[in-house]
A and B are shown apart, each in its own frame.
Chain A
Amino acid sequence: MKIPLSWINDYVKIDDIPIDALRQRLDLAGLEVGGIEIIGHTGAELPWDPEKITTAEVLSVRPHPNADRLVLAEVDYGGPEREIAVTGAPSLFARSGETGLHLKVAFAWEGATLYDGHAEGWTQRKLKATKVRGVLSRAMVCSEKELGLAEEQTDIIYLPADTPVGVPLVDVLGDYVLDFDIKGPFGHLQSVFGIAREIAALYDRPLRRAPLEAMGRLGLRAVAQPDFLELVIADPDLCPRYTATMIRGVEIAPSPLWMQMRLRRAGMRPINNIVDITNYVMLELGEPLHAFDYADLNARPDGDQPAIIVRRAAEGEPMTTLDGVPRAFDGEMLLITDGAGPVAVAGVMGGLDSEVADTTRDVLLEAASFNFINTRRTSQTLKLFTESASRFGKRVDSELAAVAAARAAELMADLAGGVIDPVMGDLYPGKPEPRALHFDPALADRLLGVQIPREEQRRILTALEFELAEGADETWAARVPTYRLDVERPVDLVEEIARVWGYDHFPHTLIDEALPPLRRNLSLEEEARVRDLLVGLGLDEVITYSLIDPADEPRLLCRPEDGATSGDAELPGEPVTLLNSLAPERSHMRRTLLPGLLRTAASNLRFLERVAIFEVGHVFYRAAPPDPESGETGVAEPRRVGALITGPREGRWWQAADRAPLDYFDLKGVAEGLLEHLALTDRADWRRGAHPAFHPGRCAEIVVGERVLGVLGEVHPLVREAFALPEQPVVALEWDLDALLDAARAADAEKEVGMISTYPPVYEDLALIVDEATPAIDVQRAIVQAGHPLVTRALLFDVYRGPQVGAGQKSLAFALTYQSPGKALSEKDVEKLRGRVIKKVEKALGAKLRGG
């Protein structure tokens, strides 16, 4: 909301306050100024030099002796002599030959910086003395464009007749336009007067209320049924008040410069005097007004006066709004109708057929009050966002309707030559009861933690127009001003007191109470540990969008044609999808982390050759209907950990580097590192997995106890292709983080740490031949079991297939460590141990000692 300071100054004198100090005070009091546009003053894009750009008066105009299109204006600039300015301004050219003029204008001397009126856009130039066709020109009469006040170069600017001559122009037209950024539904702050009223309270200055008092000045009388109109409010629940004021015989013309300038500075486009006045009063007082062309309202069938009937629309009832769009309304939308049909959508926008036009003579002025929730619903449903709907949607005081109507009527009489009917139609079925709050000033002490003296509290509330009466026990009865529709509870008064007193006066304290029982958030700590471990294992953490493309799920499952279904074992429950999404690719809450990782890898591979990433986060699926009673959303949000690696194993270097692509075993190594840190190495079972997103022969399922942690494998070539990844191995895992952490907690609880032997270990290699189908892990575990506790390590270091071991067989070579906790092992001990191991593994797995 843009408001020129000069306008506020009409109601409360503040032009003595430095602009920065004013802004600071307003900001602190909750009237946030988002920005300030400076016009003419220091700091403006074009500051008007007070010495060189002044007001002046054109006294006569005569033809230029040597140019057909130029004239010479004789100007009184307040100096001892007159100055002759050469100009081609159309309005002065038209007056060529006239004398005895008193035209107040903006005048610039040589050396002044102005915008070039004839250039496209904004080009500043310095005014120089030149001879124009033989006549010396040292000064000029300025246009709005040259002063930076309008984008189009039109005519020169004319100042009001009472403007003094020879004063700096900045004192007359300079301004600061404050752009207020007021949060919250505060109808009473949506106007110049409303802001002025706040400033008056903040600075304890008098407020000029003249704009509110037009009713009395005009001697207007309000009646329920005026003779120019039949008034009916059929749905008083949505329309607590409707006023209709008649202004006859108006002359449609442009509004005066000062009004146009204020409207423009407030961000509105001037149209004509009647429309401008409705907008002006809306900005001034915050009451949206609507002007009907009385001639367009349908007379009743029997020739009676027209009627205004405020009612809900019939389901599907049509009307074309002012913007030329034909619309149909639902049964909850409120219409203004004239008996023949709708003429306006109440509080939102008028109809095209009853709009004020150049031919309008008699104006019927509507000032009403509408249910704010309903107005907002209508505006949102129709997607019709107007100044009027926005203001009504923030709650407008119903008392303001007649006040604003009178103010606008007064301006229409003054500026458009209208004659006001002394009787105003005013139906007010929803007149609110006066509201008073029982307020105990001790509440302010209790909530604020600072003692604001009672007198100060009283002064603040009174300045904000709350009427205080003494109640029992030093409490007050606070009568709430009608326009303070936001004030409902005593605590609302505490806020008023605090913000006007000023938060900059508040001391800083810390909570002076016993700490509540603290709980350790173990799951968060454990999650942090997993992140740290994965970072330590060389992965970069990513946080991807929870909202993904629903088509990524079937892509992941290699069935893009059929789509993913809830029957897919890999994707639990029902997906959470959106009613309104920004884009199809962000319309679905992820049920798996894999698409996010694959997309992240694909986008990074455009710039990097190697990607090693992980994500820890929630996935989402609907598991049950929501139950508002218990607060259950019915959406499961389990935590997952996912990881992905792809690219060369080592970066290029000036010595030989391992440039082979990262493969299944690289990520498995990372996973094993993680499991080792979580004491799960011996508990985790690696089994052949079958997940459609992975290479069928390079996918493992990891199980701890009864719980499946998840999968790890090389991404299926079709999936790789579907996610636009290059042709190189991409290896990924996705595990259930809660299952992992539960297992880790159990393992930690049961962990037994044995003695560390100081006796010398014996190292020896053992190669065993087994069936191709025998998993290596089984052989390794059989060795360790057979040699327990003396075989402390069995490290697989070679896998061999070939003629030496025969078809369908493989040789697995292990590096064994024998060590006793109690003695140095003798040759004999070792021999015995070896024999036992070989025998047992032979028995369990049919393994044979290679070369044995």
Chain B
Amino acid sequence: MSLFDDLEQVYQTAQAALEATESVAALESWHADYLGRKGAVTLQTRSVGQLPKEDRPAFGQRVNAIKQALEAAHEARARVHKRAALAATLAAGAVDVTLPGRPVAPGHLHLTTQSLRQLYAIFAQMGFEVYEAPDVELEAYNFDLLNIPAYHPARDMWDTFWVDPSSPSTSEGIEGGDEARLLLRTHTSPGQVRVMRERYPEPIRVILPGKCYRYEQITARSEHQFYQVEGLAVGRDITMTDLIGTIKQFARLFYGPENDVRVRSSYFPFTEPSIEVDTNCTLCGGKGCRICKYTGWIEIAGAGMVHPVVLDNGGYNPAEWSGFAFGFGVERPSLTKYNVADIRYFYGNDLRFLRQF
């Protein structure tokens, strides 16, 4: 048996032993056993002196080659062990990913605020700015100046909350004459005269959003408080086809591009001609259902050309100016879109309802 054979023998043993290591600790003691200072392979270099001179370089080279090979094998083996150890740690660290996350309580915007913002954004694209008018109104602005005189049958369309003119807590009181009766606005239309009087003689393109109030019994279908958005355009040459086009544009943006509208003749005292605009009933797809009264259409807006009396009251001569106005209910589209059963959910503020939006 030559020294060379011994060397190869050690090498084979070392390889087999490496293969057999099962842990990082075993691996380290293997390293000490074979490659440490007193390791089997290291000790082989000491036997080089026993060899003939001419064999010594070859032996030395072979020992180094074996050392390198074993070091590389050791490293590879170490990687395997580390991976295995890591895998075991990871396996032990698994969680049930379906467990709930740490609760945070995100806030929500009220549904009406969201609807109003959509309306503002759409009309801003069409050049309509937002103009705000008061909730508590003079009778004149809510009715008379809009061509609705006292006791006129048209007033039946609006059940009104009237403000008590006397003042409960002081003797002076804050009374005006009959001319100065106050009420809670029944619609956003009084803003029409306010904005016209403020802006004359500029052309006008505004929307008038706001809370409105009606003296109506509160039921699933009617509320005493609700929001409207009114639109008003006044210019030299504004027409009914412009009005229809504007509402159509709005409806496409608000309800979707496949949306269609239908225009019906209607009556409002402050517009002439007056129209109402319907859109396809999304609940039945136009086939007819209870919500659309079996017509396939749902009313979305009342509108018309501004009545000459109203233009005049706003300071615009109806012979030179024309205008259109339209009004939307803000809650109605959401009621239809989400099939909300009860309008009282809006201002009842049950958070279980509001958090769904």
- A interface residues, Cβ below 8 angstroms from B: 23-24, 27-30, 32, 34-36, 182-186, 372-373, 376-377, 380, 393-395, 446-450, 489, 491-492, 494-495, 498-499, 503-504, 506-521, 524, 528, 531-532, 534-547, 565-566, 574-582, 586, 589, 600, 603-604, 607-608, 610-614, 618, 620, 622, 624-628, 631, 633-635, 637, 650-651, 653-655, 657
Contact of A541 among B110, B130, B161 (CB under 8 A): B110
Checking B140, B163, B169, B237 against A628 with a beta-carbon cut-off of 8 angstroms, the contacting residue is B140
Closest B residue to A23 by CB, please name it.
B295
Instruction: Tell me which residues across on chain A come within 8 A of B108, comparing CB atoms.
Output: 535, 540-541
Least CB distance from B177 to A in Å reads 9
Which 8 A/B pairs are nearest by Cβ-Cβ distance?
Answer: A449-B239, A30-B265, A184-B267, A499-B265, A185-B153, A495-B273, A449-B241, A535-B107
Contact of B242 among A510, A566, A582, A608 (CB under 8 A): A510
Given contacts A373-B151, A589-B136, contact A521 B130 (CB under 8 A): yes
Among B194, B215, B294, B346, the residue within 8 A (CB) of A582 is B215
- CB <8 Å contact, A620 and B157: no
Q: Give the interface segment out of B2-10, B15-23, B40-48, B201-209.
A: B201-209
Q: Are B239 and A448 in contact (CB under 8 A)?
A: yes
Is B246 in contact with chain A by the CB < 8 A criterion? yes
Which of A580, A603, A631 is close to B197, meaning CB atoms less than 8 Å apart? A631
Chain B residues within an 8 Å CB radius of A513: 203, 235-238
Please indicate the chain B residues that have their CB under 8 angstroms from the CB of A608 in the complex: 351-352
Q: How far is the CA of A320 from the CA of B305 in the complex (A)?
A: 47
Q: How far is the CA of A449 from the CA of B107 in the complex (A)?
A: 48
Complex contacts, B347 vs chain A, CB 8 Å: 543-545
Q: How far is the CA of A492 from the CA of B204 in the complex (A)?
A: 24
**B12 interface residue (CB < 8 Å to A):** no
Question: Is the pair B351, A543 in contact by a Cβ cutoff of 8 Å?
Answer: no
Residue B218 CB within 8 A of the other chain: yes
Enumerate B105-122 residues with CB–CB distance to A below 8 Å: 105-110, 112-113, 117, 120
| Chain A, Cβ-Cβ closest to B267 | A184
Contact with A along B251-285 (1 / 0, CB 8 A): 00000000000111111110011110000000000
Contact B241 A448 (CB under 8 A): yes
B346 partner residues in chain A, CB cutoff 8 A: 543
Q: Which residues of A contact B308 (CB under 8 A)?
A: 489, 491
Q: How far is the CB of A633 from chain B (nearest CB, A)?
A: 5
Q: Is the CB of A657 within 8 A of B241?
A: no
Question: Nearest-CB distance from B73 to chain A (Å)?
Answer: 46
Cα-based distance from A498 to B305 in the complex (angstroms): 12
Q: A449-B240, A581-B161 are in contact. List 7 more A-B contacts (CB 8 A).
A: A30-B267, A450-B239, A508-B244, A541-B107, A545-B347, A604-B351, A628-B180
- Give the distance to chain B from A663, nearest Cβ to Cβ, in Å: 16
Interface size band for B: 35 or more
CB of A186 within 8 A of CB of B182, answer no
In the assembled complex, the CB of B22 is this many whole angstroms from the nearest CB of chain A, namely 37
- List 28 contacting pairs A-B, 8 Å CB cutoff, sorted by A: A28-B262, A30-B266, A35-B293, A182-B267, A183-B268, A185-B152, A447-B305, A448-B239, A491-B273, A510-B126, A510-B249, A518-B127, A539-B107, A541-B113, A543-B113, A545-B224, A546-B211, A575-B169, A576-B136, A578-B161, A579-B163, A582-B216, A610-B105, A618-B135, A626-B174, A635-B182, A637-B135, A655-B102
Q: Give chain B residues whose Cβ lies under 8 Å from the Cβ of A393.
A: 153
CA distance A774 to B266 in the complex (A): 70
Query: Does B28 have its Cβ within 8 Å of any Cβ on chain A?
Result: no
> How far does the Cβ of B278 sit from chain A's closest Cβ, in whole Å?
9
- Indicate if the CB atoms of B105 and A612 lie closer than 8 Å: yes
Q: List A contacts of B202 (CB < 8 A).
A: 516-517
Residues of A within 8 A of B274 (CB): 495
The answer, yes or no, to whether B322 is at the interface (CB within 8 Å) is yes
Check A516–B104 contact: CB distance below 8 A.
Answer: no
Q: Is B336 at the interface (CB under 8 A from chain A)?
A: no
| CB atoms of B307 and A491 under 8 A apart | yes
- B245 close to chain A: CB less than 8 A: yes
Complex: A624 Cα to B180 Cα, angstroms:
12
User: Which of A495, A528, A538, A610 interacts with B106 by CB under 8 Å?
Assistant: A538
A507 with B322: in contact, given A600-B349, A650-B103 (CB under 8 Å)? no
Give CA–CA (A186, B266) in the complex, Å: 12
Residues of B within 8 Å of A376, CB to CB, are: 151, 153
Q: Is the CB of A582 within 8 A of B218?
A: yes
A237 CB to nearest B CB, Å: 15
Question: Closest CB-CB distance, B254 to chain A, in whole Å?
Answer: 16
Whether the Cβ atoms of A516 and B204 lie closer than 8 Å is yes
Question: From B194, which residue of chain A is reached at the shortest CB distance?
Answer: A631
Q: Are A507 and B151 in contact (CB under 8 A)?
A: no
With A536-B107, A546-B211 known as contacts, the answer to whether A449 contacts B162 (CB < 8 A) is no
Residues of A within 8 A of B63 (CB): none
A495 CB, nearest partner CB in chain B, Å:
4
Residue B49 interfacial (CB < 8 Å): no
Which A residues are CB-close (under 8 A) to B141? 631
Give the docked Cα–Cα distance between A24 and B127 (Å): 34
Complex CA–CA separation, A589 to B103 (angstroms): 38
* Complex Cα spacing A626 to B274, Å: 32
Our pick among A446, A534, A610, A634 for the contact of B174 (Cβ within 8 Å) is: A634
